[in-house]
Chain A
Amino acid sequence: MENKYLEISKKIQEESRKLLSEGKVERIIGFGRGEFTKEITPIFVSDPDRADELLFTPECDMMLAKYLLDYKGSKTGIVAKPCDTRAITVYLAEELIKREEVFIIGINDCEGLDDNDACEECGIRNPVVVDLEIGQPRKEEIDPEIKDELEEMTREERFEYFQKEFSRCIRCYACREACFVCTCDECFADSNQPQWVGASIGKRDNFTFHLMRAMHMAGRCINCGACEQACPEGINMRALTKHLYRVAKDVYQFEPGLDPEEKTLFATYKLNDSEQGFLD
Chain B
Amino acid sequence: MAAKENFEPKILAFLCNWCSYAAADLAGSSRMQYPPQIRVIRVPCSGRIDPFLLIRAFNSGADGVLVSGCHPGDCHYLDGNYYARRRFLMLKELMQYAGIPEERVNFTWCSASEGKRFAAIVDRVVARIKEVGPWEGFDGRGFARREEEMAGGK
Query: DSSP class of A's interface residues: helix, strand, loop or mixed?
Result: helix
The contact size tier of chain B is: 35 or more
In the bound complex, CA of A198 to CA of B102 (Å): 25
Selected contact of B55 from candidates A150, A208, A276, CB within 8 Å = A208
Q: Tell me, yes or no, whether B77 is within 8 Å of chain A by CB.
A: no
Asked if A196 and B139 sit within 8 Å, CB to CB, the answer is no
Residue of B nearest to A247 (CB): B93
The yes or no answer to A280 lying at the interface (CB within 8 A) is yes
A162 and B98 contact, Cβ closer than 8 Å, known pairs A204-B59, A218-B90, A269-B82: yes
Q: Are B99 and A159 in contact (CB under 8 A)?
A: yes
Does A155 count as interface, using CB distance less than 8 angstroms?
A: yes
A143 within 8 Å of B (CB atoms): no
Complex Cα spacing A196 to B90, Å:
19
A155 lies within 8 A of B138 (CB): no
A52–B106 alpha-carbon span in the complex (Å): 58
Could you tell me the distance between the alpha carbons of A211 and B140 in the complex, rounded to whole angstroms?
Answer: 16
B98: chain A residues at CB < 8 Å are 158-159, 162, 207, 211, 240
A266 contacts across to B, CB distance below 8 A: 83, 86-87
- Interface range, A side: 35 or more
- Report the tally of A-B residue pairs with Cβ distances under 8 A: 116
Q: Which residue in chain A gives the minimum CB-CB distance to B121? A: A279
Which of B95, B106, B138 lies at the interface centre, i.e. has the most chain A CB atoms within 10 A of its CB?
B138
Q: Does B92 contact A (CB under 8 A)?
A: yes
Chain A CB within 8 A of B124 CB: yes
Q: For the complex of A and B, list the 3 residue pairs with the smallest distance between their C-beta atoms, beginning with the closest.
A: A159-B99, A207-B138, A203-B139
A-B contact pairs, 18 of them (CB 8 A): A158-B97, A159-B100, A160-B99, A188-B52, A197-B59, A202-B139, A203-B139, A203-B141, A207-B139, A212-B52, A240-B94, A244-B90, A247-B90, A266-B83, A266-B87, A269-B83, A273-B89, A278-B107
Residues of A within 8 A of B (CB): 150, 155-163, 188, 196-197, 202-208, 211-212, 214-215, 218-219, 239-240, 243-244, 247-248, 251-252, 265-266, 269-271, 273-280
